[in-house]
Amino acid sequence: MFNPRSGWRAESGNGCVPISEVLRYHLAKPFAKRVRGIPCKPGDYLTLQAKIVLLPGDGIGPEVIRQARRVLEVVASQFGHTFEFSEHIIGGIAIDQTGEALPDATTAACRASDAILLGAVGGPKWDDPNAKTRPEAGLLKIRKELGLFANLRPIVTFEELLDSSPLKREIIEGTDILFFRELTGGLYFGPSGLEELPDGQQRAFSTAVYTTSEVERIVRMAAHAALKRRNKLTMVDKANVLEASRLWRRVSARIMQEEFPTISYDVVLVDSMAMHLLSRPTSFDVVVTSNMFGDILTDEASMLPGSLGMLPSASLGSSGPGLYEPIHGSAPDIAGKGIANPLATILAAAMLLRHSLGLEKEAASVEAAVKRVLAAGYRTADLVRRGESSLGTLAITDHVLQSMIG
Ligand code: IPM
Ligand code: MN
């Protein structure tokens, strides 16, 4: 699904791996003496050299990114990879320093990287509705500039946290949904404007615009994911009212019929979907939808696993680096207190290992460590029930690292 940028193919990984440089290759089966000109012998390890850009951003962003970086550093040393990190500014901090939410230097560094890990942007300091620019503009711009049209948001309940969810255990148990939210079109990027009317009122508009190919590519990506999962795809729209949704419905039906006839496919209106997510979340496998609907539905779905603090996401294009981030925002109310839950960012780092670096084993080891830490009863403040004690950002990460090292 992901095109290599270096033109190099990994034998033991998940298809093509977009790594800028490969130093040595893991020769589980001795098939070559040299890989990319580098002499190898059986038993050698494939070690990847990858450039990872960190965009800590605002609020709790820097705190959670610092912990995810520690996890990636342990992965690098355990598996023999070399990760070269560089930090750049985005969001409110970038507005303060440069006047722009996404400075050109940040975009350039991201383009030259293999993958990007982002904390969060925004906060009350930059909330003035009359301000020239907003932190969120940086996020929208980087998505657009890097062509990150697919936002993958897995909603998986952790057995250990079932009782932290506001919903009943019997409804949410077993929930495993993968949302594909279209990320560079629709209402977020269509023509918009604000005008003064002669009678003194203002008139504002935002437009949902989609083209055939924008719908095709996200539906195809979601369908490929469904083939590797439970073979079910649900497309969510508002075709009973919106013209743009009617395009989605036609294009999506055609792609599914012509290219993915074996997938069980259905369509659900967005208002019903809001309800079904709470009444029968386990009946969904892969869900694909437009930018705005995906934004809203995934926040709603994030309550199924209990806390926003557990959910990672990946934003991918057809080539180039992917961008990984926690779903939660900058949480300015708890910033600097050392109590933010870093697990969503750590799980985003695991997605980065899997989707941008092709390091499935490494990704799985991070995810397994997080699960073990939860199973052992360790919790951050957002996950505890009344009266239970909690760990801070650093301490829970220490447990994850210890669990990885074994
Ligand atoms: C998200 C966020 C962003 C969005 C904001 C911060 C621009 O809510 O990633 O879901 O609406 O896409
Ligand atoms: Mn959102």
Contact status, residue 156 vs residue 261, Cβ threshold 8 Å: no
Identify the pLDDT of residue 309: 87
Helices and strands, counts by H and E, the chain: 12, 15
Pick from 71, 161, 72, 158: nearest CA to 402:
71
Residue 362 to residue 115: CA distance in whole angstroms: 15
Give the Cβ contact number of residue 166 at 10 Å.
10
Q: Which of 207, 110, 115, 162 is nearest to 310 (CA)?
A: 162
Under DSSP, the state recorded for 9 is B
Ligand 1 pocket test: which of 292, 295, 298, 300 has the largest number of ligand atoms within 8 Å of its C-beta? Answer: 295
Question: Residues 255-302: pLDDT tens digits?
Answer: 999 999 999 999 999 999 999 999 999 999 999 999 999 999 999 999
Measured CA to CA, the distance from residue 298 to residue 281 in angstroms comes to 12
pLDDT value at position 386? 80
Q: Which residues lie across from 383 on neighbouring strands?
A: none
Site to substitute for ligand 1 among 102, 140, 293, most atoms within 8 A of C-beta: 140
- What is the atom index within ligand 1 of the atom nearest the CA of 140? 7
How many C-beta neighbours within 10 Å does residue 78 have? 13
Contacts of 261 (CB under 8 A, 6+ apart): none
Q: Cite the DSSP H helix spans in 80-173.
A: 92-98, 104-111, 135-145, 169-172
Q: What residues does ligand 1 touch, defined as CB less than 6 Å away? A: 136, 139-140, 295
- Most distant CA atoms of the chain, gap in Å: 80
Known catalytic membership, residue 114: no
Give the closest ligand to the alpha carbon of residue 330.
1
Q: Write down the pLDDT at residue 225.
A: 96
Amino acid identity of residue 326, one-letter, is: P
Q: Of these residues, 141, 295, 361, 371, which one is catalytic?
A: 295
Would you state the pLDDT for residue 35? 54
| Gyration radius of the chain over CA positions | 22
Q: How far is CA 287 from the centre of its chain?
A: 15
Instruction: Look at residue 164 in the predicted model and tell me its pLDDT.
Output: 80
Residue numbers in the chain where pLDDT is lower than 50? 1-31
Torsion angles phi and psi, residue 178, rounded to 5: -115, 110
Nearest CA to ligand 1 atom 12: 295
β-strand pairing of 115-120 with 232-237: unpaired
Contact 78, 404 (CB under 8 A): yes
For residue 209, what are its two tokens?
A: 């615009």
pLDDT digits (tens, 9 = 90+) for 103-161: 999 999 999 999 999 999 999 999 998 899 999 999 999 999 999 999 999 999 988 88
User: What pLDDT score was predicted for residue 130?
Assistant: 87
Structure tokens at 312: 């990672």
User: If 0-12 CB within 10 Å is exposed, 13-18 middle and 19+ buried, where does residue 58 land?
Assistant: buried
Active site residue 382: no
| Ligand 2 center from residue 319 Cα (angstroms) | 24
Nearest to 292 by CA among 208, 381, 223, 354: 208
Amino acid at 266: D
Read off the tokens for 122.
């925004």
Residue 312 and residue 369: Cα distance in Å, rounded? 15
DSSP single-letter state for residue 50: E
Q: Is the CB of residue 326 less than 8 Å from the CB of residue 350?
A: no
Specify the ligand 1 atom closest to the Cα of 139: 7
Active site residue 141: no
pLDDT tens by residue, 133-143: 999 999 999 99
Domains of the chain: 1-157+304-406 (3.40.718.10)
